[in-house]
Copies of this chain bind each other. A is one copy, B any other.
Amino acid sequence: MNNTGLPPTAKRVFKGIIFDVYQWEQKMFDGTTATFEKLKRPDTMVVIPVVGDKILVLDQEQSGRGKAFISLPGGRREEGEDSAKAAARELLEETGYIAEGLKLWKEEMPYENKIIWTVYTYIGRNCQFKQPPHLDPGEKITPRLISFNEFLLLADDPTFYELELKADLLRARFDSAKKEELRKLLFA
């Protein structure tokens, strides 16, 4: 297993628009072998944009997706793109805002057993509106400013898109030390 998350013998058996599929022969504990399969997809960026004492969230609809949902700005990293640049680009495209500074908060690989995929969560410090958003034709996005306490309550919203943040929001809501830590991280 090298730092790509795949053994050197892994072969790409399908190249998709988002998902590539890799397979390889894996030696089992008993000496037999079996064909293993793993996906690779572009890394994604999530930005928590701080605007004054508020946080900017997005009410979203997407083509072909029945339900409206709430998300943070973000999206896929392009081939060869630096993660901080990708985060700044997605923030600007989806909201029209620019952050004074982007601080990497978390780097996680959900379901890393099956998918080679990293989710980068950035704090967008002191964001300022620069220009109208530039949306994909498949997106309908309405930015909305909410308070820190409203932000913590998003963990209860079944339409909240950012699964990787749920546990952090719950901890901050119920543990006053964690709450102050997150407040400082966002607003200090």
Interface residues of A, Cβ cutoff 8 Å to B: 1, 7, 13-14, 16-19, 21, 23, 26-30, 32, 34-37, 39, 62-66, 110-111, 113-114, 136-140, 155, 161, 163, 166-167, 170-171, 173-175
Cβ–Cβ contact B7 & A64, under 8 A = yes
Cβ–Cβ contact A140 & B29, under 8 A = yes
How near does chain B come to A68, taking the closest CB pair, in angstroms?
A: 12
Cβ–Cβ contact A16 & B13, under 8 A = yes
For A64, the chain B residues whose CB sits under 8 A away are 1, 7, 26-27, 36
**A14-B17 contact given A34-B137, A63-B28, A171-B170, CB 8 Å threshold:** no
Q: Apart from A1-B64, A29-B138, what 19 extra A-B contacts exist at CB < 8 Å? A: A1-B66, A13-B14, A14-B16, A16-B21, A17-B23, A19-B21, A19-B37, A21-B21, A26-B64, A26-B138, A28-B136, A28-B138, A36-B64, A110-B163, A113-B161, A155-B167, A163-B163, A170-B171, A174-B174
From B1, B14, B34, A14 is in contact (CB under 8 Å) with B14
For A21, the chain B residues whose CB sits under 8 A away are 14, 16, 19, 21
How near does chain B come to A35, taking the closest CB pair, in angstroms?
A: 6
Cβ–Cβ contact B163 & A111, under 8 A = yes
**A37-B16 contact given A167-B167, A174-B170, CB 8 Å threshold:** yes
From B16, B27, B167, A166 is in contact (CB under 8 Å) with B167
- Nearest chain-B residue to A173 (Cβ)? B174
How near does chain B come to A86, taking the closest CB pair, in angstroms?
A: 18
Most chain-B CB neighbours within 10 Å: which of A7, A28, A32, A161?
A: A28
How near does chain B come to A39, taking the closest CB pair, in angstroms?
A: 6
